Amino acid sequence: MLKTKIAVMVSGGGTNLQALIDAQEKGLLKSGEIVLVVSGNETAHALERAKKHGIPSVVVSKKICGSQTEFETKIQSALKEHGIQLIILAGFMSILSPDFVSKWPKRIINIHPSLIPSFCGKGFYGLRVHETALRYGVKVTGATVHFVNEIPDGGEIILQKSVPVYKNDTPEKLQRRVMERAEWMILPRAAELISRKIMKEGADYGL
């Protein structure tokens, strides 16, 4: 069976990458295959995870590249070399330019640790998302998988899952619960959903 070729872009621990790898190994992700991991950071633990599962990886560091253009040209050429059809941003810490994003309509998805449109957009990443949710006093938060367009966290929503907030939560506790009960579940599900669509609709997908 033909599968959608997926690149997962990471910068950190890679627990969401791990959830995707596990889904692939369990046959839950069956319409797509992770054929490349792109890391924005050479020390990302996500790279170890890729290696352990025999997935090729490439490091493209924004610091080393002189400019955003050079950074994105390098990423594009790695994606092209591996015939990538779907990009999954799983904790990738660099913003991709509107120019880059416009070349991949409905072909880039991202996982965000809140229920968009709450606690999202510029500056909302990592623990800040959960700190703000706690400060606001929300009783429910969660995670969202969405398409990536030129507006940070502004693309069409694909899947969401809610998670309760408890009285004695710290940002760290809440972050962990959102990952375990939402992110690691909906990201593989969305990867399968979109991979299947790409295979079914072929060249028309995303137009």
Residues tagged active-site: 112
* 161-180: contacts with ligand GRF (CB under 6 A): 179
CA angle 117, 110, 107 (to 5 degrees): 120
Nearer to ligand GRF, 105 or 171 (CB): 171
Q: Identify which of residues 22 and 73 has a Cβ nearer to ligand GRF in the complex.
A: 22
Q: How far is the CB of 122 from ligand GRF (least distance, A)?
A: 14
Quick note: the x/- pattern for ligand GRF over 23-52, rule CB under 6 A, is -----------------------x------
- Say if residues 86 and 4 touch (Cβ distance below 8 Å): yes
Q: Which is nearer to ligand GRF, 92 or 100 (CB)?
A: 92
Span between the terminal Cα atoms of the chain, in Å: 24
Nearest-angstrom CA–CA distance, 21 and 49: 9
# residues near ligand GRF by CB under 6 A: 14
**Minimum CB–partner distance for residue 105 and ligand GRF (Å):** 21
Is 188 a residue that touches ligand GRF (CB under 6 A)? no
Site string for ligand GRF, 54-73 (x = CB under 6 A): --------------------
Map tokens 């006093």 to a residue: 137
Nearer to ligand GRF, 15 or 24 (CB): 15
Q: Residue 107 CB, nearest distance to ligand GRF (Å)?
A: 18
- Among residues 4, 15, 39, 195, which is the contact residue for ligand GRF, using CB under 6 A? 15
Largest CA distance in the chain: 50
Beta bridge partners of 38: 9, 58
- The residue with its CB nearest to ligand GRF is 91
CA distance 25 to 18: 10
DSSP assignment string, 131-160: HHHHHHT-SEEEEEEEE--SSTT-SPEEEE
Site for ligand GRF in 91-130 (CB under 6 A): 91, 111-113
Show the tokens assigned to 51: 């290696």
Q: What is the DSSP string of 104-120?
A: STT-EEEEESS-TTSS-
| Residues at the contact surface with ligand GRF, assessed by CB under 6 A | 10, 12-16, 46, 90-91, 111-113, 179, 183
